[in-house]
């Protein structure tokens, strides 16, 4: 099963790189597409930072505030 998944992953990578290489000689991406890719990556990184801040903030709250209730 692992070998089947690894083979499928290899086929997908080869297909992606082949299409990417075929598309590249046609010219670089225009400015709007480049800006869209960059903004998408910025929003993704921002959302990850906010997710981990919320997660560790909740963990900190649970350990400090709720832990203080146990000591009473």
pLDDT of residue 34: 79
Average pLDDT, the chain: 84
Which tens digits make up the pLDDT trace of 33-61? 878 888 999 999 999 999 999 999 999 99
Residue 29 makes CB contacts below 8 A (sequence gap 6+) with 37
Residue 37 makes CB contacts below 8 A (sequence gap 6+) with 29
**pTM for this one?**
0.53
Half-sphere exposure of 5 (CA within 13 A, CB side): 2
């Amino acid at each position: 099963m692992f070998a089947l998944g690894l083979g499928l992953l290899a086929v997908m990578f080869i297909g992606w790189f082949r299409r990417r290489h075929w598309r590249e000689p046609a010219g670089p991406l225009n400015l709007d597409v480049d800006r869209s890719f960059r903004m998408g990556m910025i929003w993704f990184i921002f959302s990850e930072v906010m997710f981990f801040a919320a997660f560790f903030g909740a963990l900190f709250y649970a350990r400090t505030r709720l832990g203080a209730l146990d000591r009473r």
